[in-house]
Amino acid sequence: MSEENNTTPPSARQPFQPGPWYESPRSARSLLENRLEQITDGIDAVFSVAKAEEEPAIMFICRALHANVAELRKELQLTLKWPEDQ
C-alpha cells in the first residue's frame, strides 16, 4: 500500500467539496475570510510577544505562518469566486 506524499497540499490532492456548513459560496468565503483574519490576529499577538522577548525562533515561525495564511487566502479567492470577482 503506497503512502500519499505529505508535501502535497490538500488542495492538490482533492478538489474543494462544498459541505452543509454554508449556504452559498459567498457566505462560505466570508466565513473563511473571517476565520483567516482571526488566525492572523493570533499570529500577530504571538509575534509581538516574541519580539518583545527577543525570541527569533518564534518570530521566524510567525513569519512562516503568515506566509501560509497568505497562501490560503489566494487559494480561497481562486476556489470560491462569484461573478463580481471577474
Helix axes 56-79, 25-52, angle to 10 degrees: 170
User: Where would I find the H helices in the chain?
Assistant: 10-13, 25-52, 56-79
Q: Give me the phi and psi of 65, to 5 degrees please.
A: -65, -40
* pLDDT tens sequence for the chain (86 residues): 444 445 555 555 566 565 555 566 677 778 888 889 999 999 999 999 999 999 999 999 999 999 999 999 888 878 776 555 55
